[in-house]
A and B are shown apart, each in its own frame.
Chain A
Amino acid sequence: MNQKSLELLPGTLDTLILKALQRGPLHGYAIMQTIRAHSNEVLSVGESTLYPALQRLLLNGWVKAEWGASENNRRARFYTLTTAGRKRLTAERADLETMITAIRQVLETA
Chain B
Amino acid sequence: MPKFFRRLDYFFHRDEIDAGLAEEMEFHRAMLAREFEGDRTAAARAWGNATLAREDARAVWLGPWLESFWRDFTYALRGLWRERGFTAVALSALAIAIGLNTALFTVFNAVALRPWPVAEPSRVVNVMRVLRNGPLAGEGEGFGVAEWRYLTAHSKSFSGLFLTRNGEPVRAAAGPMRLTWVTGNFFSVLGIEMVRGRGFLPEEDQPLAPLGVAVLSYDSWQNRFGGDPNIVGKSIRLDEIPFTVVGIAAPDFAGTNPERTDLWAPFSARRVLRPDDADVLPFLTDEHHCCSQMAGRLAPGYTGRQAAAEIQTLSAHLHTDKTLDNAAVVTAGTALLAALGPQNKSKVVPILAAMFVAITLVLLLACANVGNLLLARAAARRQEIAVRLSLGGSRARLVRQLLVESLTLACAAAVLGLLIAWKLPSAIVALMIPENGIAMTADWRVCAYTAGMAVIACLGFGLAPALQATRLRISGALQRDASLRFSRLPLRSVLLAAQVAISVVLLAGAGLLVRGLQHVQHQDPGFRIDTITVATLELPAAAYSGKLAEIFTGQLQSALAETQGLPPAGIAGDPPMGHSRSWTTMRLTGTPEGSERMVQIHQVSGGYFDVLGIQLLAGRNFTPADTGRRVVLINETCARRFFGARNPVGSTIESNANTWEVIGLVQDAYTTDLSVINPTIYWPVNGRFGVPLVLGRDFNPAARERLSAIVRSLESKARVSYAPLAENFRSLLEPARYAAAISGALGLLALILAGVGMSGVFAYMVRQRTREIGLRMALGAQPAQVVRLVLASHLHALAWGLAAGLAGAFAATRLLRSMMNGISPFDPAAYVAVFLLLIAAAAAASAVPARRAARVDPLTALRWE
Nearest chain A CB to B310 CB, angstrom units: 52
A76 surroundings in chain B (CB, below 8 A): 24, 27
Using an 8 Å CB-CB cutoff, how does the interface string of A41-54 with B read, 1 for contact, 0 for none? Answer: 00000111001101
Q: Are A47 and B25 interface neighbours, CB within 8 A?
A: yes
* B49 lies within 8 A of chain A by Cβ: yes
Tell me whether A48 and B52 are in contact in the complex, defined as CB-CB below 8 angstroms, given that A61-B6, A77-B24 are known contacts: yes
* Docked pose: A45 CA to B478 CA in angstroms: 46
Q: Indicate if B551 sits at the interface (CB-CB under 8 A).
A: no
A25 at the A/B interface (Cβ < 8 Å)?
no
- Measured CA separation A16–B31 after assembly (Å): 21
Q: B565 within 8 Å of A by Cβ?
A: no
> A74 to chain B: which residues have CB within 8 Å?
27, 30
CB distance from B90 to the nearest CB of A (A): 35
B419 adjacent to chain A (CB < 8 Å): no
Are B3 and A60 neighbours in the complex by a CB distance under 8 Å?
Answer: yes
Structural contact, A59 and B24, CB atoms closer than 8 A: no
Q: Measured between alpha carbons, how far is A56 from B57 in the docked complex, in Å? A: 8
Does the CB pair B27–A47 fall under 8 Å?
A: no
Residues of B within 8 A of A70 (CB): 27
Residue A27 interfacial (CB < 8 Å): yes
**B31 — nearest CB in chain A belongs to which residue?**
A29
For the complex, give the distance between the alpha carbons of A48 and B60 in Å.
12
Interface centre among B10, B20, B27, B52 (most CB of A within 10 A): B27
A48→B59 CA distance, assembly (Å): 12
The residues of A that contact B23 with a CB separation of less than 8 Å are: 75, 77
- In the complex, whether A58 has a CB less than 8 A from a CB of chain B is yes
Interface residue from B7, B30, B32, B56 paired with A59 (Cβ < 8 Å): B7
A27 vs B25: C-alpha distance when bound (angstroms): 10
Interface residues of B in 1-21 (CB under 8 A from A): 2-3, 6-7, 10, 20-21
Residue of A nearest to B25 (CB): A51
- Asked if B57 contacts A28 (CB within 8 A), the reply is no
Asked whether A46 lies within 8 Å of B28 as measured between CB atoms, the reply is: no
Check A55 for interface membership: any CB of B closer than 8 A. yes
Are A29 and B28 CB-contacts (below 8 A) given A48-B52, A55-B58?
yes
What residues on B are CB-neighbors of A52 within 8 Å? 53, 56-57, 59-60
The CA-CA distance from A32 to B25 in the complex, in Å, is 12
Contact check, B56 vs A51: say whether CB atoms are below 8 A apart: yes
Across the interface, name the chain B residue whose C-beta is closest to A77: B24
The answer to the question of B73 belonging to the interface, with a C-beta cut-off of 8 Å to chain A, is no
Contacts of A51 in B (CB 8 A): 21, 24-25, 53-54, 56-57
Task: Name A46's closest neighbour in chain B (CB-CB).
Answer: B48
B356 CB-CB contact with A under 8 Å: no
Residues of A with C-beta under 8 A to B3 = 59-61
Closest to A71 in B: B31
Q: Is the Cβ of A48 less than 8 Å from the Cβ of B49?
A: yes
Neighbour of A55 across the interface among B27, B47, B49, B57, CB < 8 A: B57
- Assess whether B61 is in contact with A59, with CB atoms less than 8 Å apart: yes
Query: Given A47-B48, A48-B48, A60-B3 in contact, is the A54-B57 Cβ separation under 8 Å?
Result: yes
CA distance A56 to B6 in the complex (A): 11
| A residues 53-93 touching B (CB-CB < 8 Å) | 54-56, 58-61, 67, 70, 74-77
Residues of chain A with a CB closer than 8 A to B48's CB: 46-48
In the bound assembly, the distance between CA atoms of A56 and B52 in angstroms comes to 16
Contacts of A60 in B (CB 8 A): 3
Are A47 and B2 neighbours in the complex by a CB distance under 8 Å?
A: no
* A52 to B62 Cα, complex, angstroms: 12
Q: How far is the CB of A18 from chain B (nearest CB, A)?
A: 16
Within 8 A of A (CB), among B32-48: 32, 47-48
Contact among A28, A46, A47, A59 for B60, CB-based, below 8 A? A59
Instruction: Give, as a whole number of angstroms, the nearest-CB distance from B57 to chain A.
Output: 4
**Which residue of chain A lies nearest to B27 when distances are taken between CB atoms in the complex?**
A76
CB distance from A35 to the nearest CB of B (A): 14
Which chain A residues lie closer than 8 Å to B59 at the CB level? 52
Closest chain B residue to A32 by CB distance? B28
CB distance from B51 to the nearest CB of A (A): 10
In the bound complex, residues from chain B placing their C-beta under 8 Å from that of A32 are 28
Contacts of A48 in B (CB 8 A): 48-49, 52-53, 56
Find chain B residues with CB under 8 A from A47 CB.
Answer: 25, 28, 47-48, 50, 53
Specify which of B6, B47, B49, B52 is in contact with A58 (CB 8 Å cutoff): B6
CB distance from A34 to the nearest CB of B (A): 13
A-side contacts of B50, CB under 8 Å: 47
| Alpha-carbon separation in the docked complex, A70 to B26 (Å) | 13
Separation of A61 and B24 alpha carbons in the complex (Å): 19
Minimum CB distance partner of B48 in chain A: A48
Proximity bits, B91-103, A CB within 8 Å = 1, else 0? 0000000000000
Q: Is the CB of B27 within 8 A of A27?
A: yes
B28 neighbours in A (Cβ, 8 Å): 28-29, 32, 47
Report A63 CB to chain B, min CB distance, Å. Answer: 12
User: Chain B: which residue is nearest A3 at the CB level?
Assistant: B42
Least distance between B719 CB and chain A CB atoms (Å)? 81
Contact with B along A12-48 (1 / 0, CB 8 A): 0000000000000001110010000000000000111
Query: Are B53 and A28 in contact, with the CB atoms below 8 A?
Result: no
Q: Is the CB of A29 within 8 A of B32?
A: yes
- Name the A residues within 8 Å of B60 (CB-CB): 52, 55-56, 59
Distance from B394 Cβ to chain A, minimum over Cβ atoms (Å): 15
B47 proximity list for chain A (CB < 8 A): 47
- Cβ–Cβ contact B61 & A55, under 8 A: yes
Q: Is the CB of A29 within 8 A of B27?
A: yes
Q: How far is the CA of A16 from the CA of B50 in the complex (A)?
A: 22
A27 neighbours in B (Cβ, 8 Å): 24, 27
How far, in Å, is A8 (CB) from chain B's closest CB?
15
Measured in the bound complex, the distance between the Cα atoms of B10 and A29 in whole Å is: 23
A74–B26 CA distance with the chains assembled, in angstroms: 11
Closest chain B CB from A54 CB (angstroms): 7
Query: Measured between alpha carbons, how far is A46 from B56 in the docked complex, in Å?
Result: 12
Shortest distance between the CB of B520 and any CB in chain A (Å) = 67
Closest to B59 in A: A52
CA distance in complex: A59, B61 (Å) = 7
Q: How far is the CA of A57 from the CA of B283 in the complex (A)?
A: 78
A55 to B10 Cα, complex, angstroms: 11
Chain A residues with a Cβ under 8 A of chain B: 27-29, 32, 46-48, 51-52, 54-56, 58-61, 67, 70, 74-77
**Known A28-B27, A76-B27; further 20 A-B contacts with Cβ < 8 A:** A28-B25, A28-B28, A46-B48, A46-B53, A47-B28, A47-B50, A48-B52, A48-B53, A51-B54, A51-B57, A52-B59, A55-B58, A59-B60, A59-B61, A61-B2, A61-B6, A67-B20, A70-B27, A75-B27, A77-B23
**Interchain residue pairs with CB less than 8 A apart (16):** A27-B24, A29-B27, A29-B32, A46-B53, A47-B25, A47-B53, A48-B52, A52-B56, A54-B57, A55-B57, A59-B60, A59-B61, A61-B3, A74-B27, A74-B30, A76-B27
Chain B residues proximal to chain A, CB less than 8 Å = 2-3, 6-7, 10, 20-21, 23-25, 27-28, 30-32, 47-50, 52-54, 56-61
Instruction: Please provide the 8 A-B residue pairs with the shortest distance between their CB atoms, ordered closest to farther.
Output: A55-B60, A51-B57, A48-B53, A29-B31, A52-B56, A29-B28, A77-B24, A52-B57
